[in-house]
Structure 1
Amino acid sequence: MSVQIDVPFTPAPSFRSYLILVTAFGMLIPTFFFAFMVFAITDGMGGALAVMAGIFVMLAFAGGIWAYLYYGTVHYLLTPTEMTWGRGVLWRQTGIVPYNRITNVDIIQGPVMRIFGISNLRIQTAGYSANQLAEIKLQGINDPEPLRAVIMDFVRSGHPVAAVTGADVAATPASGPSQAGQAADAAMLVELREIGVVLKRIEEKMQ
Structure 2
Amino acid sequence: MRVPEQVILRASQWCYRGVWRFVTDWLDVPEQPPTFTGANDTRIQSFRPAEGYLRYLKLFFWIGLTLFDGVLFVGWIVLLVSFPIAGILLAAPIWAIMILPDIVAYIAIHLRYDTTWYVLSDRSMRIRRGIWLIHETTITYENIQNVSIHQGPVQRYFGISDVLVETAGGGTGAHGEQVTLGHAGRLEGVGNPSEIRDLILSKWQAAKSAGLGDEPQAPHASSPIPVATLDSEPDVRLLEEIRDLAVALAQE
TM-score, normalisation: structure 2: 0.49
Contact 1:24 1:61 in 2 (8 A): no
Match of 1:150 among 199, 202, 205: 199
1:139-178 alignment, distance < 5 Å: 139-158=188-207, 178=213
1:46 aligns with 2:78: yes
CA distance in 2, matches of 1:26, 1:89: 23
1:27-106 alignment runs, 5 A limit: 31=68, 46-47=78-79, 55=97, 57-106=99-148
- The Cα of 1:27 is off from its aligned counterpart by 5.4
Q: Which runs of 5+ in 1 are unaligned?
A: 160-173, 183-207
CA distance in 2, matches of 1:134, 1:120: 16
Higher Rg: 2
Query: Cα distance 1:74–1:176, how it changes in 2: closer, same or farther (>3 A)?
Result: closer
CA drift at 1:75 = 0.9
Q: Does structure 1 residue 136 correspond to structure 2 residue 168?
A: no
Go from structure 1 to structure 2 and tell me whether the alpha carbon gap of 1:134 and 1:115 turns closer, same or farther (over 3 Å shift): farther
Q: Which residue of 1 aligns with 2:235?
A: none
Q: Quick one: structure 1 residues 178 and 91, their matched pair in 2 at CA, closer, same or farther if it must change by over 3 Å?
A: same
In structure 2, distance between residues paired with 1:77 and 1:104: 18
Alignment partner of 1:20 is 2:58: yes
Assess if the C-alpha contact under 8 Å between 1:119 and 1:144 holds in 2.
Answer: yes
Q: Tell me which residue corresponds to 2:48.
A: 10
Maintained 8 Å contact 2:168/2:183: no
Task: Give 1:104 shift.
Answer: 0.9
CA distance in 2, matches of 1:109, 1:54: 37
Unaligned runs of 5+ in 2: 1-41, 80-90, 170-178, 217-252
Whole-angstrom distance in 1 between the partners of 2:113 and 2:211: 42
Aligned-pair identity (%): 27
- SS of alignment partner, residue 119 of structure 2: strand
The alignment partner of 1:84 has SS state of strand
Q: Is the 8 Å Cα contact of residues 100 and 155 (structure 1) preserved in structure 2?
A: yes
Q: Which deviations, in whole Å up to 9, do the C-alpha atoms of 1:118-138 show, x marking residues without a partner? A: 1111111115xx99x862210
For normalisation by structure 1, the TM-score amounts to 0.58
Instruction: Report Cα offsets for 1:21-78 as digits up to 9, x if no partner.
Output: 223434578x49x97xxx8xxxx9935xx99987565434322210112111111111
Distance verdict in 2 for CA 1:45–1:102, change over 3 Å: farther
Matched AA of 1:89: I
